[in-house]
Amino acid sequence: MIRVNDVSGDVAIGIFDSGIGGLTVYQQIAALLPAENLIYLGDTARCPYGTKSHDVVTQYACENSDFLAERNIKMLVVACNTASAVALMALQERYTIPVIGVIRPGALAAVRSSQNRKIGVIGTEATIASGAYTKALRALDPSLEIYTRACPLLVPLVEEGWVENDVARSTVATYLSSLKQSGIDTLILGCTHYPLLKKTIAVYLGDHVELIDSAEETAKVVVETLSDNHRTQSNGPGRGSFFVTDSPDQFIKVGARFLGDVVESAVRLER
Ligand code: DGL
């Protein structure tokens, strides 16, 4: 187990994702905890994780987390559904600090929201194949009807900024038609990129289907988990630092689509 020593005061919260999508989680944490310092690592050189094997995703997740742990963080947020689905337990066993993933917060919010107990989950191939959402949902309520669908083309669409055009609309319709027919009243957006498609998905499924954004739910769990004596004493605003494993320029450019101009600069890691 890797002991992370100083967990008080102005020590940062570490956040990582396979790339840019975890900025949706970063944004929500920054909104709820504006005085905290945040360090974000986007493993852009090795993205996507969603098509890779569990072993490889776990190895990448450990390497990313070790990088953040070396910066003496007080909490680790796995802002990637795929890494949370396959590697969360390995990371929780690896460090002495709290490690928070995005799966359970999303599942909890979905169970709270559903009236008819029919819940849909969309995510990458690895996330859906892992069954992590199904397990988390069943643990909360074994009587749920759960419908899942891997939607691998949605990540590149978002990266391209195609979130509200004809291609986005028809891809969403193709992926979600069986979920729509199954009568779900709640859909978990089980991938960091999907909140950017919220509008298009909402129009296709209609108002009666609640969309659960794991980013929002995870940020709430971060706030709950950060006990009072681990909060920064500073009045802020906190510092945001961004690291990437590929070109910072591309990260900043695509990041602007996620966050506006919040990511002004990023440092490329040499591994
Ligand atoms: N961040 C990933 C997730 O939330 C999506 C991109 C990828 O496949 O790496 O599952």
Paired strand residues for 215: none
Answer yes or no: is pLDDT of 256 > 90: no
pTM higher than the cut 0.75: yes
User: How far, in Å, from the CA of 72 to the mean position of ligand 1?
Assistant: 25
Average pLDDT score over residue span 153-165: 92
Q: Hey, what are 178's tokens?
A: 């069986």
62 catalytic per annotation: no
- Distance from C-alpha of 59 to C-alpha of 204, rounded to nearest angstrom: 37
- Distance from C-alpha of 95 to C-alpha of 72, rounded to nearest angstrom: 11
Residue 88 CA to chain centroid, in angstroms? 12
Identical topology for domains 13-101+217-268 and 103-214: yes
Answer yes or no: is pLDDT of 2 > 90: no
Q: Which residue's CA lies nearest to atom 6 of ligand 1? A: 48
Pocket test of ligand 1: the residue of 20, 23, 47 to mutate, having most ligand atoms within 8 Å of its CB, is: 47
Pocket test of ligand 1: the residue of 80, 121, 157 to mutate, having most ligand atoms within 8 Å of its CB, is: 80
Domain definitions of the chain by residue range: 13-101+217-268, 103-214
Q: Hey, what are 25's tokens?
A: 């989680």
Specify whether the CB–CB gap between 79 and 192 falls below 8 A: yes
Q: Which residue's CA lies nearest to atom 2 of ligand 1? A: 80
- Distance from C-alpha of 65 to C-alpha of 77, rounded to nearest angstrom: 9
Residue 264: per-residue pLDDT: 85
Question: Domain 103-214 classified CATH 3.40.50.1860?
Answer: yes
| Tens-digit pLDDT profile for residues 189-240 | 999 999 999 999 999 999 999 999 988 889 999 999 987 768 887 877 899 9
Query: Spelled out in words, what is the top-level CATH class assigned to the domain 13-101+217-268?
Result: alpha beta
